[in-house]
Structure formats: C-alpha cells, structure tokens
C-alpha cells in the first residue's frame, strides 16, 4: 500500500495480502515482480559451468561440463578430461600424454623406434643420427649407439628388396641403417672384394649357400617384439680397455663373433679391440679403463645373464 493506492512489488521482493510493504528476498535469491510469498524467492538460474543444488549453484566438477540453461553437468567422453566449471564439450580434451607418447587427433600414441618424448608434448624428437632407441623411449639418454648383433642372425643373401643404400664403416653402422629404415628385415654388406663398401637395408629376402653377401637378418627390436628389452645392449667406449683376458680362445677377427662368444661365457665381462693385434679380445673386466695408447675400443653389455641363440653362419 502507498499513499496513492496499491503498487506491485518489484522483482526480488514479495508481499502477502494486506501487507503495507514488500519484503526483500534473501541475498542470494531472486523473484519475479509481484511475487506473493517467501517461497517465490528462488535461487537464480545457474550460469554455464554450474548446477543447482538445494543450497544454490555449485561449480561442475572436473571432467564434466554444463552449458547455459542445462539442469545438470554432463560427463566428458570416457578418454577426455576437463577443468572444474567447464561450460562446453569442447572443454573436454585428451589428457596430456605421458613420457614416451605424443598427442594426436585421436589421443596419445606411443613414440616410434629411434625417437623419444617427455611428458605432455605434441610430437616425438628424433634420436641423433648415429643412435637408436626402442619405441616409447622417454629421454635422449634412451638413444644408444647401436643395437647388439645378438638381434641378428648371420647368413648369405641371394635376393631381397633394397630399401636404402649407404657406404658403411662397420657392421654396427650397417645394422643401424636397418634399424632406422621402415620395413627393414636385414642388413646386407657387399662382398669384401668390391671397391665400394656398401650397406643395404632390405625387406623380404632369402638366404642360401654361396654368393659372398654377408647378411644380418633382424630378429628383434621391431614392431612384433618387445624392443630393446628382448636383446642385449652393448655400451661402447672409445679410448678404453677392459682388464684380463677370458680363458681359452680370447681373440677374434670380427666384433659379431666376439660378442656372440662373450655371451656364451660366464667369465666374459666385455670386449676390447686391440689396435696392435687388430683383434677383438674377450675380457673378464667390466670397468672401462683409460687406454694407454688411446686407440683401444671396448664394449660391455648390460644384461650379463641374458642369453640369445647362437649366431648362424651359412658357408
């Protein structure tokens, strides 16, 4: 009631019949103009990202969202996450990828061989040119000099599909080429009688007697195996030697044979290349020591108890 007669209560207030004034709604509630009772005071519609409860609007929890006008919060798709208070489905995104994976349009994917990644990145980084790594590697230290020949079976090639060709300086170098070439099933070196020392990464191939083409058939570190863990990792150090010869025959002409022999012996801790004899020698020691001449090269392997099948030489 006013001096000039009855007037409608303004919004966010109310009054009963016969009242001389309008009462305000509680601070956090609203009402339409002309409301007649306390119960007409209600919580204001929640904004996007919030939902109504008996005590007012509450923010939607993480991994949910709500657009304006909706009465409840929706869950993000199963493999996506969102911050608390998200207002639309586009706020639901794939969770940051763990180390060893990268983000794609369909979610996290494992980094391929010879790459690595830290957590939360959108792409994988390549290992240095002369190093390799297993799929899913998480740091540059996972990139190692080369994969042990224990992952290859030796033979002689007669035919195969050449995927890539380079000049090579060692058997290790040629195996690296195979590991770094998609679809490579074997590393092949040209006959020693050739002028050019060529290394070929090949796909399908056959082995038979004769021919003179040395072939290292790849047996692990591929998409069908568990990667580096299924082979032997050799650590190579330039200008270092290992102490004490292993018992029996201890010197060999090629690194492949020396490594194979070392893996079969309980007293072999590694291999040292002797510059004076030009031989790969089996050594008992496992600690790298400075080479007096600076010309020796040594290798030790990380898994002493793991044994793989003997390398096969087809004559």
Half-sphere exposure of 119 (CA within 13 A, CB side): 3
Domain boundaries, the chain: 13-43, 101-142, 150-225, 234-301
Q: What is the pLDDT of residue 130?
A: 64
Is-contact 284 245, C-beta < 8 A?
Answer: yes
Q: Please write down the long-range contacts of 171-176, taking CB distance under 8 Å and 24 or more positions apart.
A: 171/216, 171/254, 171/255, 171/256, 172/145, 172/146, 172/236, 172/255, 173/146, 173/199, 174/199, 174/216, 175/146, 175/147, 175/149, 175/216, 176/130, 176/132, 176/146, 176/147
CA distance 290 to 294: 7
CATH class name, domain 234-301: alpha beta
Which range has the worst mean pLDDT, 8-12, 69-73, 169-173?
169-173
Q: What is the pLDDT of residue 166?
A: 76
CA distance 157 to 133: 27
Q: Please compute the mean of the pLDDT values over residues 184-189 and round it to a whole number.
A: 79
Calculate ∠ Cα 228-264-308, nearest 5°. 35
Q: Please compute the mean of the pLDDT values over residues 163-171 and round it to a whole number.
A: 73
CA distance 59 to 44: 14
* CATH code, 150-225: 3.50.4.10
Q: What is the pLDDT of residue 228?
A: 34
Q: Does the pLDDT of residue 283 top 90, yes or no?
A: yes
Other CB atoms within a 10 A radius of the CB of residue 2 amount to: 8
Half-sphere exposure of 2 (CA within 13 A, CB side): 7
Is-contact 32 9, C-beta < 8 A?
Answer: no
Q: What is the pLDDT of residue 271?
A: 93
Q: Is the model's pTM score more than 0.85? A: no
Q: What is the share, in percent, of the chain residues with pLDDT greater than 70?
A: 75
223-281 confidence digits (pLDDT tens): 332 233 334 566 778 888 999 999 988 898 877 788 878 888 889 999 998 988 888 89
150-225 shares its CATH topology with 234-301:
yes
R_g over Cα of the chain: 36
């Amino acid at each position: 009631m006013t001096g000039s007669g009855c007037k409608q209560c303004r919004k966010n207030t109310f009054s009963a019949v016969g009242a001389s004034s309008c009462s305000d709604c509680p601070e956090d509630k609203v009402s339409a103009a002309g409301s007649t009772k306390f119960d007409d005071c209600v919580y204001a519609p929640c904004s996007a990202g919030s939902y109504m409860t008996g005590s007012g609007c509450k923010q939607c929890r993480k991994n949910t969202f709500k657009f304006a006008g909706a009465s409840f919060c929706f869950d993000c798709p199963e493999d996506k996450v969102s911050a608390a208070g998200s207002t639309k489905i586009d706020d639901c995104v794939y969770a940051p990828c763990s180390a060893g994976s990268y983000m794609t349009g369909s979610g996290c994917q494992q980094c391929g061989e010879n790459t690595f990644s830290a957590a939360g990145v959108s792409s994988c980084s390549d290992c240095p040119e002369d190093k390799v790594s297993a799929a899913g590697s998480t740091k540059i230290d996972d990139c190692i000099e080369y994969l042990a020949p224990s992952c290859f079976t030796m033979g002689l090639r007669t035919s195969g599909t050449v995927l890539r060709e380079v000049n090579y300086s060692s058997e290790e170098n040629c195996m690296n080429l195979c590991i770094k070439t998609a679809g490579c099933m074997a590393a092949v070196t040209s006959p020693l009688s050739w002028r050019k020392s060529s290394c070929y990464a090949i796909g399908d191939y056959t082995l038979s007697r004769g021919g003179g083409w040395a072939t290292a058939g790849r047996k692990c570190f591929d998409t069908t195996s568990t990667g580096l863990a299924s082979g032997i990792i050799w650590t190579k150090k330039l200008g270092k030697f290992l102490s004490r010869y292993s018992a029996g025959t201890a010197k060999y002409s090629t690194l492949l044979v020396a490594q194979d022999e070392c893996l079969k012996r309980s007293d072999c801790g590694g291999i040292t290349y002797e510059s004076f004899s030009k031989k790969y020698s089996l050594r008992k020691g496992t600690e790298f020591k400075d080479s007096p001449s600076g010309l020796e090269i040594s290798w030790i392997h990380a898994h002493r108890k793991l044994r793989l099948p003997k390398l096969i030489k087809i004559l």
